[in-house]
Amino acid sequence: MEFFLDTADVDEIREIAAWGILDGVTTNPSLIKKSGRDFKEVVREIAGICSGPISAEVTAMDTEGMIAQGLALKAELPDNVIIKIPCTAEGLAATKVLNQAAIDTNVTLVFSAAQALMAAKAGATYVSPFIGRIDDTGHDGMNLIAEIMEVWARYDISTKVLAASIRHPTHVLQCIQLGAHTATMPAKIFRQLMKHPLTDKGLEGFMKDWAAVEAAGNA
């Protein structure tokens, strides 16, 4: 499974990249706004830290505008940047054109298996179903991942399912169990996934015993 970091904070990206497990980064206009930096500048810096796919989102709402922005971003930014496109009719049309130009895409804001399948048919490299936002409506977002993975298995689809809007470590575990190809999450979730009280307790015991070994002059 691929682990992506959902942020535009380069310090967080450096931290998680140093662990040796970071496969990619997703950004969006809200995360760029939060960073307070120039969009292209921060994406270039991110692409220099992580060699995996870096999602940079278009902001046009019409097909021609999305295509123009996507082509411009690919021309101006590092090779590992992929184009993030909203799951709309206009977005699917743009995805098709960019796919024909051999440009990888991430179709975002997916909330149904039908949307995911249509994005895949348009040639999306990734589709991003939003788990947490479905949970916010009182429904179970993991049901969407299960539905998509069932469709993928039935039709042998190559587009990767990128689970997004992940709110807690259990979401990640469930995505792993359901076979989602990728999960993008904030740095907080990465840290929570690494944390376990028994690991801390075991390490504390080992270090206490080793201190006794050293005190006895047997190190």
Q: pLDDT tens digit string along 53-85?
A: 999 999 999 999 999 999 999 999 999 999 999
Residue 33 annotated in active site: no
Q: The domain 2-215 is classified under which CATH number: 3.30.160.60, 3.20.20.70, 3.20.20.60, 3.60.20.10?
A: 3.20.20.70
Q: Which residues of the chain have pLDDT under 50?
A: none
Residues 198 and 104: their CA atoms lie apart, in Å, by 42
- pLDDT in the model for residue 29: 87
Cα–Cα nearest to 74, from 52, 107, 100, 105: 105
pTM: 0.94
- Alpha helices (H) in 101-160, listed in sequence order: 113-121, 131-136, 141-155
Residues 216 and 214: their CA atoms lie apart, in Å, by 5
Q: Which of 84, 121, 188, 195 is catalytic?
A: 84
In tens, the pLDDT along 123-147 reads 999 999 999 999 999 999 999 999 9
Q: How many residues does the chain have?
A: 219
- pLDDT in the model for residue 25: 98
Sign of CA dihedral 182, 27, 15, 142: negative
- pLDDT in the model for residue 198: 97
Domain locations in the chain as residue ranges: 2-215
In this structure, what token pair is assigned to residue 73?
A: 């971003």
